[in-house]
Amino acid sequence: MALSIKKRLTCNVLDVRNLTDSTVVLRFERPALEFEPGQYLRVGVADDPEIRDYSVYSGANKEYVEVLVRRVEDGLVSKQLCDLKAGEQVEVGGPYGHFKLIHELREKPLLFIATGTGISPFHSFAESYEKLNYRLIHGTANLEEAYEAGFYGENYFHCVSREEGGDFKGRVTDYLKTLDIPLETNAFLCGNCDMIYEAFDMLQAKGLPTAQIHTEVYF
Ligand SMILES: Cc1cc2nc3c(=O)[nH]c(=O)nc-3n(C[C@H](O)[C@H](O)[C@H](O)COP(=O)(O)OP(=O)(O)OC[C@H]3O[C@@H](n4cnc5c(N)ncnc54)[C@H](O)[C@@H]3O)c2cc1C
């Protein structure tokens, strides 16, 4: 069923950056809307009623907007977005969501935990706010899915479940078991729901108050 939103804006695609065979960063003109890092937009191909949610990947200070899209082979919209070319158009609505780094948290220790394209809001945080004190733990099946990891420097830690060669062989939640987490940490979890439910319980068991655990479920 097509989702409908009140206000959709048509934007020109400026660039499509291939990160892997199945994942792109889609850059388009910044629509006439403000967003806060961590929020998501509803994006679809122009003139198609089907739209889906995509976290903003780029910083709030940029003149363009980027989203990180992984091609889901049996999906409807992600494939079309991955196949777009510069000069074509997307329709965009939003912003939506409350997965934000409020001002009071920006100087506190932060633990960002992502699976797959769930890294996207953390890229937007890091590009928008200078000098964040964060550690980013990214879980993927394969090594090549370390999407633009160089951007995060030493803050990035890669858990790879199906190949050797990352910082840790296994799932994010396997790595979390080994980790001591200072109780003043604010944890932000983004990606698939299995990881989020499991990591949430583990962080609580390690003593982190629920109010310091923030979540964004993709699917
Ligand atoms: C708040 C929010 C933010 C999101 N941000 C992003 C983002 O930044 N980048 C991104 O790529 N996706 C993101 N998603 C997922 C996105 O909205 C779509 O669900 C995804 O692109 C698949 O759409 P589709 O039309 O191709 O597949 P559909 O036809 O909608 O669904 C096909 C199937 O694929 C499953 N699925 C959805 N996403 C994935 C995935 N990544 N890997 C494997 N299976 C999946 C669905 O559960 C469904 O069973 C986000 C979702 C939410 C709720």
Average pLDDT, the chain: 95
Q: Whose CA is nearest to atom 13 of ligand 1?
A: 54
Q: Residue 6 — very low, low, confident or very high, per pLDDT cuts 50/70/90? A: low
Whether residue 75 has its Cβ less than 6 Å from ligand 1: yes
Whether residue 54 has its Cβ less than 6 Å from ligand 1: yes
CA atoms within 13 A on the CB side of 5: 18
**79 CA: nearest ligand 1 atom:** 26
Q: What is the CA radius of gyration of the chain?
A: 17
Residue 142: predicted pLDDT: 98
Whether residue 23 has its Cβ less than 6 Å from ligand 1: no
Beta 89-96 vs 40-45: how paired, if at all? antiparallel
Domain boundaries, the chain: 9-96, 103-217
* CATH top-level class of 9-96: mainly beta
Report angle CA 15, 31, 52 to the nearest 5 degrees. 75
Whether residue 128 has its Cβ less than 6 Å from ligand 1: no
pLDDT over 70, % of the chain: 97
Of 56, 61, 70, give the one whose Cα is nearest residue 27: 56
Q: What is the CATH number of domain 103-217?
A: 3.40.50.80
What is the rounded average pLDDT of the residues 167-190? 97
Of 96, 121, 94, 98, give the one whose Cα is nearest residue 110: 121
Q: Are 52 and 82 in contact (CB under 8 A)?
A: no
Residue type, 47: D
